[in-house]
């Protein structure tokens, strides 16, 4: 096994075994080896989280283990955040990001924030359980041009529609983009959003395409 694939494997297993120390060590090793933060997330840590999701679905593990794996992922993202943010110094614009009302899943949204920061955007991270009004108020206060909302549950997809409706009702000038596991391009078209992307990496090109649009 090459050094790179060995480190990526270690990142994956650190999440699968919710081993915080191993995740921190492997993340530092990966950075030292010159592996790009987005590859550390997509090809290492993220693969471990995918496996956790599958094992949870199959009832092989339960909520406490998922929480432990999430905390492990967060510890690694804490190291990667500043590295990813050190990208472009000239800010390309402001994006308001959050997980929609009723939903507390934050990991995917945090990855999106880190990717956008790395690509030179100023990101206002509203956290989770964010109402449509709070998204728009934050965009007003920070002169943003895009609002991005994450939903991880079929039951909270409806809250993405509420964001679009609120933006239209208030005649706000913001573009809306959405994602998260149950979200899809078809859903975004149905609710009248301006964009969808499946991954955090694709979100960067999506937001780039909305600049000045």
Please give the Cα distance from 195 to 188 (Å, whole number).
Answer: 7
Binding to ligand B12 (CB under 6 A): which residues in 172-191? Answer: 177-182
Produce one character per residue of 21-48: b if its CB has 16 or more CB atoms within 10 Å, e if not.
Answer: ebbbebbebbbeeebebbebbbbbbbbb
Cα 195 from Cα 132, distance rounded (Å) = 17
Quick count: other Cβ atoms within 10 Å of Cβ 65? 16
Minimum distance from CB of 34 to ligand B12 (Å)? 22
What's the min distance (Å) between Cβ of 29 and ligand B12?
Answer: 21
Q: Which of 11, 52, 80, 193 binds ligand B12 (CB under 6 A)?
A: 52
Give the shortest CB-74-to-ligand B12 separation in angstroms: 7
Please choose, out of 20-28, 131-139, 166-174, 195-203, the segment that lies near ligand B12 by the rule CB under 6 A: 195-203
Considering the complex, what minimum distance in angstroms separates the CB of residue 129 from ligand B12?
A: 7
Computed on alpha carbons and rounded to an integer, the radius of gyration of the chain in Å comes to 17
Cα–Cα distance measured from residue 114 to residue 200, given in angstroms and rounded to the nearest whole number: 9
**199 interacts with ligand B12 by CB under 6 A:** yes
Residue 95 phi, psi (nearest 5):
-125, 130
63 in contact with ligand B12 (CB under 6 A): yes
For position 108 contacting ligand B12 by CB under 6 A, the verdict is yes
What residues line the site for ligand B12 (CB under 6 A)?
Answer: 46, 49, 52-53, 56-57, 63, 66-67, 70, 102-109, 111-112, 148-150, 152-155, 177-182, 197, 199-200, 203
């Amino acid at each position: 096994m090459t050094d790179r694939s060995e480190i990526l494997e270690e990142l994956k297993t650190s999440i699968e075994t919710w081993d915080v120390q191993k995740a921190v060590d492997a993340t530092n090793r990966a950075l030292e080896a010159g592996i790009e933060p987005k590859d550390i997330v997509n090809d290492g840590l993220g693969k471990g989280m995918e496996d956790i999701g599958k094992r949870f679905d199959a009832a092989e593990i339960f909520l406490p283990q998922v929480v432990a794996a999430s905390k492990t992922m967060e510890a690694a993202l804490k190291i990667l955040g500043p590295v990813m943010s050190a990208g472009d110094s000239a800010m390309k614009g402001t994006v308001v990001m959050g997980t929609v009302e009723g939903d507390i899943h934050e990991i995917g949204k945090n990855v999106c924030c880190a990717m956008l920061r790395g690509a030179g955007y100023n990101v206002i991270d509203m956290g989770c359980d964010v109402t449509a009004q709070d998204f728009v108020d934050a965009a007003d206060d920070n002169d943003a041009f895009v609002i991005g909302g994450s939903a991880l549950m079929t039951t909270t997809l409806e809250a993405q529609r509420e964001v679009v409706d609120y933006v239209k009702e208030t005649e706000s000038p913001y573009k809306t983009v959405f994602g998260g596991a149950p979200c899809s391009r078809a859903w975004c078209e149905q609710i009248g959003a301006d964009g969808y992307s499946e991954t955090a990496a694709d979100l960067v090109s999506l937001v780039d395409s909305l600049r000045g649009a």
